[in-house]
Amino acid sequence: MSASREGLNPEFAAKLTLFEKKLAANGIKVMLTCGYRSIEEQNRLYDQGRTKPGKKVTNARGGYSWHNWGLAADYVFIINGKVTWDGPWATFGKIARESGLEWGGDFKSIVDRPHVQWTQGKTLAQMRRAAAAKKK
């Protein structure tokens, strides 16, 4: 179930390593469940629960998620050797912020506690424009 770090922005991956070490120092064990997602994979997930069977798992189409740029990660807790989404989210969020990451638990529209991202002060629109310019 552990996700690969392949495709993550190298600076973001380094921030995640420090974040995970800080969590561990506070007695919190986590596992990365999702990092980089291709645009195609993002669109497949977006379709789930809409035009395809299953529960909705994202509100972001391809190109509209920080995962698509290798700048987001999702985690679960490991408590007593078992994977769980029930854990010390407030501490997780506090340590994420202290690590220079944005925490999905602070989102105003859709709270996404397992999610952290590093936007580098940019917007998704800027990321899409830069990617389009590279293709030209």
The partner residues of 31 in beta bridges, in order of sequence, read 76
Rounded Cα gap, residues 82 and 21, in angstroms: 19
Determine, yes or no, domain membership for 115. yes
pLDDT, position 131: 92
Retrieve residue 86's tokens.
């029930």
Q: How far is CA 107 from CA 17, 65, 115, in A?
A: 23, 13, 10
pLDDT, position 2: 60
Which pTM value belongs to this model?
0.92
pLDDT, position 91: 99
Averaged pLDDT for residues 54-82: 96
pLDDT in tens, 77-107: 999 999 999 999 999 999 999 999 999 999 9
Rounded Cα gap, residues 100 and 118, in angstroms: 8
Contact (Cβ atoms closer than 8 angstroms) between residue 115 and residue 57: no
Kindly report the CATH number assigned to the domain that includes residue 39.
3.30.1380.10
Residue 1 pLDDT greater than 70, yes or no = no
End-to-end CA separation in angstroms for the chain: 37
Structural domain count, the chain: 1
pLDDT, position 3: 82
Rounded Cα gap, residues 118 and 52, in angstroms: 30
Determine, yes or no, domain membership for 5. no
State which residues form the domain around 49: 10-135
The per-residue pLDDT of the chain, averaged, comes to 96
